[in-house]
A = this chain, B = another copy of it.
């Protein structure tokens, strides 16, 4: 605990898409910054980046970069986090890590502030930011769990290419242009950069996000399953996921089937709970064709929920359509909100 009113902040992976978004969010929310250090790999070091109308030169990240840093945001991939997060902690920084490197470690809180801020109370210098598709889902499901008890979840995702990085975004644009000109479509990145096979994403749907695990699920699907249980503190929750990459740029959408414990609940009662939930915005009116879409949710902070319907066979079953900007609540915004929550609760 400290009594500072402004902080020495570092961003590792400052030149990446999420790193840039973290800077945007810090500026937009007037995060109390005393100094900002931008760090990257050797390759990007020397790049100049604008922040609040000042130019900052990006430096190569080394262990000693974290001397005198209060808060370090890591968003440069798992390998960098594995190498440098312990060094940052050793030098007294509190790390908020946007990679999957430490998420499932028992002593590392995995946090969506609206859901489980209290898990940070006894942090040991490191808090993990969840996977994008997980964050928006738990933001919508937590208030339902609190009110009615959540028994099971079956989710099918509709995920934007920006979740696979800027090369995937470029690939979608290039393939789309080539398709419209009737030219050959080159496939180099998706579904997984560095994996054996690549498929076109333009005008297609790829039922693979991240590599396959031994059980036939992808790593993305297992992240959704395991991270949801951890964040909601519900190791017993029945949950399954199918993750699909689609040809749009921003926001993940999710078709979610849930079963609750409480008897006799109707859609109106679910709406009431969602309407009052922190960070959630209900957009649900079939009569006026009101529901969220990836485009309508882009560049917005909320987790949007629509298409809430009771199952026609299972009285405790409900269907939801949940959409949120994967780079904001799914990444940069939640990361910064973790830091804000640490400050507000004097847990820094």
Binding site for B on A (CB under 8 A): 152, 154, 156, 158, 173, 176-177, 180, 191, 195-197, 199-200, 203-208, 212, 215-217, 225, 238-240, 242, 244, 246-249, 253, 255, 257, 267, 286-289, 291, 293-296, 306-314, 317, 319, 321
Chain copies in the assembled complex: 2
Asked if A319 meets B244 with Cβ closer than 8 Å, knowing A191-B289, A207-B291, the reply is no
Q: Could you list 22 A-B pairs, sorted by A, with CB under 8 Å?
A: A176-B180, A197-B289, A199-B293, A199-B295, A203-B294, A204-B294, A204-B295, A206-B293, A207-B293, A207-B307, A212-B289, A215-B312, A216-B309, A217-B312, A239-B313, A240-B311, A240-B313, A240-B317, A242-B307, A242-B319, A242-B321, A247-B247
The one of B173, B207, B253, B288 in contact with A207, judged by C-beta atoms closer than 8 angstroms, is B253
Asked if A288 meets B196 with Cβ closer than 8 Å, knowing A217-B309, A255-B156, A314-B238, the reply is yes
Q: Which residues of B contact A291 (CB under 8 A)?
A: 207-208
The one of B158, B173, B197, B215 in contact with A309, judged by C-beta atoms closer than 8 angstroms, is B215
Are A249 and B288 in contact, with the CB atoms below 8 A? Answer: no
Contacts A206-B293, A216-B310 aside, 12 further interface pairs with beta carbons under 8 A come to: A152-B313, A156-B156, A180-B180, A195-B289, A203-B247, A207-B293, A216-B286, A225-B312, A240-B257, A244-B253, A244-B255, A255-B255
CA separation between A61 and B176, bound complex, in Å? Answer: 40
Q: Which residues of B contact A257 (CB under 8 A)?
A: 154, 240, 257
Are A295 and B203 in contact, with the CB atoms below 8 A? Answer: yes
**Nearest-CB distance from A252 to chain B (Å)?**
10
CA separation between A200 and B253, bound complex, in Å? Answer: 15
The one of B208, B286, B294 in contact with A289, judged by C-beta atoms closer than 8 angstroms, is B208
Q: Which of A215, A246, A287, A294 has the most CB of B within 10 A?
A: A246
